[in-house]
Amino acid sequence: MKTSLFIIAGAVAVTTLASMLLSSCGGKEKAAAGISPQSMADALHAVMESDRIVYTKQVVNRLQNEEKIIKASEHWKDEKALPLPAQMFRMGAEMVAEKKKGFTYSLLSEWPINKQNAPKTEAEKNGLSHVGKNKGQNYYTEETLGATKYFTAVYPDVAVAAACVKCHNGHEDSPRTDFVEGDVMGGVVIRIPLSSAK
């Protein structure tokens, strides 16, 4: 009799202790101890920006404008030329979208060459305007598109090389002809889905 009582008491004690310990790890109240959407967006942007700057400076600007041995062209396949940095960026974005890793990103501008890349949603319009007027700042918000809520981050896209302004100022479809190196020409928009909107 005493032995079984002892066993039952022990079992209850162990169960209570275990549930207390187990519930405190990743418990219901606080979010999973992981990475915030903003940190994730910043990290992704750091990679995107760096890869594109390397391509723009060390490949396009150096070979086209300094060494003058190959051109970069919108129609790079037909003209056996280098893809434009914006195209390299977009091709990467399309490949990432196919891999379905949850996030998407795009390159937009208030002065786009292709009008489909003008800001469309409120977040994009506000974000591009903000990063254009506030040098060095990013823009973070949340928006709902379709049936999904997104964390949306907008980063300034700066003319880092002569190649950038030379092409955009001279392009038939560019609405501006007065960009200079260092100007914010547009923005990178990264979207990370949060939960589905209610």
Question: What gap in Å lies between CA 45 and CA 121, rounded to an integer?
Answer: 20
Query: Locate tokens 């062209």: which residue?
Result: 73
Question: Which positions lie near other proteins, rule CB under 8 A?
Answer: 74-75, 77-78, 94, 97-98, 104, 106, 115-116, 120-121, 124, 145-146, 148, 150, 169-174, 177, 189, 191, 193
Dist. CA 173–CA 136, nearest whole Å: 28
Of 62 and 118, which CB lies nearer to other proteins in the complex structure?
Answer: 118
Smallest gap from Cβ 106 to other proteins, in A, equals 6
Q: Is 74 helix (H, G, I), strand (E, B) or coil?
A: coil
Q: How far is the CB of 166 from other proteins (least distance, A)?
A: 10
Decide if 139 contacts 126 (C-beta within 8 A).
yes
The residues that bridge with 141 in the sheet, in sequence order, are 152
Q: List, in sequence order, the alpha helices (H) in the chain.
A: 2-24, 37-54, 85-99, 122-133, 162-170
CA distance 189 to 108: 7
Nearer to other proteins, 25 or 95 (CB): 95
**Minimum distance, C-beta of residue 168 to other proteins, in the bound complex (Å):** 11
- Spatial contact of 82 and 72, defined as CB atoms under 8 Å apart: yes
Q: Report the 10 Å Cβ neighbour count for 66.
A: 11
Q: How far is the CB of 130 from other proteins (least distance, A)?
A: 17
Q: Name which of 158 and 167 has its Cβ closer to other proteins.
A: 167
| Beta carbon nearer to other proteins, 112 or 156 | 112
Least spacing, CB of residue 55 vs other proteins, in Å: 20
Pick between residue 85 and residue 112 the one whose CB is nearest to other proteins. Answer: 112
